[in-house]
């Protein structure tokens, strides 16, 4: 970052600036993933001959590191390289969602909607509003990463505030507050199923409610919004004063009044959006709806509705975008729509390159079993300390944050850690509900500071649109205050719930 007339730096500013400088000296993220993949290969070759006593909960056998430098491993790597890349989950999510968002942006629907929003919202309240929307986006799977974060920059820029502050606030809500939500999402039954299976290793008949952490997550939403608001306005924005915007001028909208055509288009587009949502609700609500899971629920991980979130986002922006374009006059033919889609894809070239190398590294890391080994070693060390229950819960949170720096997927981490944490704490008299809540706090807090999180490179790309010198260090330095504060206050909130005996959720308990 370069500054012009920034205020005198505080001690925190100097610390964050140092982190930014060091982080930005790292190689380009694409090359960094290549280097890390080579490190994984080398370490796996060194540790493969060693026998470990830790039991892998996935198969009940002593865990083994798989050598990635054998002839068969290299042959498998090369033969699966294309499918490893094309099967990289964030890639399809980003590209499909942005096809629809690109149309809505090109026709002017998003800009008009922002103008209308800003006309009734004071800029001082944009931070809590944006973070609140970001936490709600968890209901729509990964929508927040491809929709709310870039819109956060646009909203802040249109209001005359720094777009990187909008990116930071949205990223904090989407990823740093990943588990905080007012509305249950597909993640709740997904984690519950893993928790219940782990609990049944000790108590075969043990049942866990899918909403066993719901009350705690509702309270967490307001905590994340309040703390995120303070950090954005009092720490992040003052630090960004004087940081020049040297990116694409088209990415920096100016705040102007709505024209007559825009008003007509916006009314028609919003009507189309509401009509589409009502139609989806009517189709989904009946008990025999094809959008329900085999068990008859809409929020289960295997429910077609939950699995269709990204295509629905595509349609949710495509259709209103097209309607707005024709009614407002910004679109004259279908060729304009196709051009809008092409333009949105052209901006994703750098991210596609990042996704290619990130997918290869993540695949190698998972296949080597190194992540599982590190997690098992840490959990066993924690158990050996025989700490008091409250300290043990804090230890679980901190260990989860450490594992989170290495393994991005929330469900993948819990699939690995639940069979370790849940039985271990049950033997100490602590309930699976409390253990799962502790995991969710630790899992969320460090998402925003690890480049290993699959969507982290995408956030760097968003920021580069406005400040071309943005690198990994820039984003980490912006997000570190959120990460440390969220981890601290969220842990305190969980301990407060426990101390006051406030229920964590439905049919939840703290002790057995």
The pLDDT tens digits for 352-377 are: 887 888 788 878 877 888 867 776 77
Residue whose entry in the numeric block shows the structure tokens 């720094």: 162
Query: Cβ(144)–Cβ(137) under 8 Å?
Result: yes
Full-model pTM: 0.69
Residues in the chain where the model's pLDDT stays below 70: 1-13, 16-17, 19-26, 29, 57-58, 89-90, 114-115, 117-119, 138-143, 186, 201-202, 248-256, 299-301, 306, 371, 375, 378-379, 382, 406-412, 415-416, 427, 452
At residue 388's C-alpha, the angle toward residues 383 and 389, to 5°, is 85
Q: What is the pLDDT of residue 125?
A: 86
Report the distance separating Cα 251 and Cα 270, nearest Å: 23
Report the distance separating Cα 482 and Cα 192, nearest Å: 27
Report the distance separating Cα 224 and Cα 489, nearest Å: 9
Written as six digits, the tokens of 453 are 């999180």
What are the tens digits of pLDDT across the range 16-70? 667 666 656 667 767 877 888 899 899 999 999 998 888 776 677 888 899 999 9
Q: How many helical (H) and strand (E) elements, i.e. helices and strands, does the chain have?
A: 24, 2
Mean pLDDT of the chain: 83
Query: Cβ(341)–Cβ(327) under 8 Å?
Result: no
Which residues have C-beta within 8 Å of that of residue 49, sequence separation ≥ 6? none
Q: What is the pLDDT of residue 387?
A: 78
**Rounded to whole angstroms, what are the CA distances from 19 to 237, 274, 488?**
17, 45, 20
What are the tens digits of pLDDT across the range 84-99? 898 876 677 778 877 8
């Amino acid at each position: 970052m370069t500054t012009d007339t920034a205020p005198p730096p505080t001690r925190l500013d100097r610390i964050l600036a140092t982190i930014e400088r060091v982080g930005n000296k790292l190689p380009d993220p694409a090359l960094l993933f290549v280097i890390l993949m080579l490190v994984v290969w080398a370490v796996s070759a060194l540790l493969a001959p060693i026998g470990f006593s830790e039991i892998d909960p996935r198969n009940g056998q002593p865990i083994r590191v798989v050598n990635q430098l054998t002839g068969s491993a290299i042959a498998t790597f090369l033969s699966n390289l294309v499918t490893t890349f094309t099967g990289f989950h964030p890639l399809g999510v980003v590209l499909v969602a942005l096809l629809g968002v690109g149309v809505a942006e090109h026709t002017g629907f998003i800009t008009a909607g922002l103008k209308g929003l800003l006309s009734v919202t004071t800029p001082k309240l944009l931070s809590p509003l944006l973070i609140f929307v970001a936490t709600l986006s968890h209901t729509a799977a990964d929508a927040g990463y491809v929709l709310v974060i870039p819109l956060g920059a646009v909203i802040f820029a249109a209001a005359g505030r720094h777009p990187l502050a909008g990116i930071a606030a949205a990223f904090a809500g989407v990823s740093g507050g990943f588990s905080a939500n007012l509305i249950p999402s597909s993640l709740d039954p997904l984690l519950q199923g893993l928790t219940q299976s782990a609990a049944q290793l000790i108590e075969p008949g043990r049942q866990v409610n899918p909403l066993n952490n719901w009350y705690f997550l509702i309270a967490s939403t307001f905590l994340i919004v309040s703390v995120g608001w303070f950090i954005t306005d009092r720490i992040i924005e003052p630090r960004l004063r004087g940081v020049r915007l040297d990116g694409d001028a088209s990415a920096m909208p100016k705040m102007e009044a709505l024209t007559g055509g825009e008003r007509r288009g916006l009314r028609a587009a919003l009507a189309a959006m509401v009509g589409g949502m009502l139609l989806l609700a009517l189709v989904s609500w009946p008990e025999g709806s094809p959008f329900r899971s085999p068990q008859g629920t809409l929020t289960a991980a295997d429910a077609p509705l939950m699995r269709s979130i990204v295509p629905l986002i595509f349609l949710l922006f495509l259709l209103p975008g097209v309607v707005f374009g024709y009614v407002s006059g910004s679109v004259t033919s279908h060729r304009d729509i196709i051009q809008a889609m092409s333009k949105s894809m052209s901006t994703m070239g750098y991210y596609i390159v990042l996704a290619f190398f990130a997918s290869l590294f993540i695949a190698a890391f998972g296949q080597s079993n190194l992540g599982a080994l590190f997690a098992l070693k840490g959990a066993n060390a924690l158990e050996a300390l025989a700490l008091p229950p409250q300290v043990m819960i804090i230890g679980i949170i901190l260990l989860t944050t450490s594992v989170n720096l290495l393994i991005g997927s929330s469900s993948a981490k819990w699939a690995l850690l639940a069979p370790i944490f849940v039985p271990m704490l049950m033997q100490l008299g602590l309930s699976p509900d409390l253990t799962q809540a502790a995991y969710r706090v630790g899992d969320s807090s460090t998402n925003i500071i690890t480049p290993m999180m699959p969507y982290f490179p995408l956030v760097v790309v968003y920021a580069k649109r406005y400040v071309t010198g943005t690198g990994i260090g820039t984003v980490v330095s912006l997000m570190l205050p959120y990460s440390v504060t969220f981890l601290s206050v969220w842990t305190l909130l969980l301990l407060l719930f426990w101390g006051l005996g406030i229920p964590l959720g439905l049919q939840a308990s703290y002790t057995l």
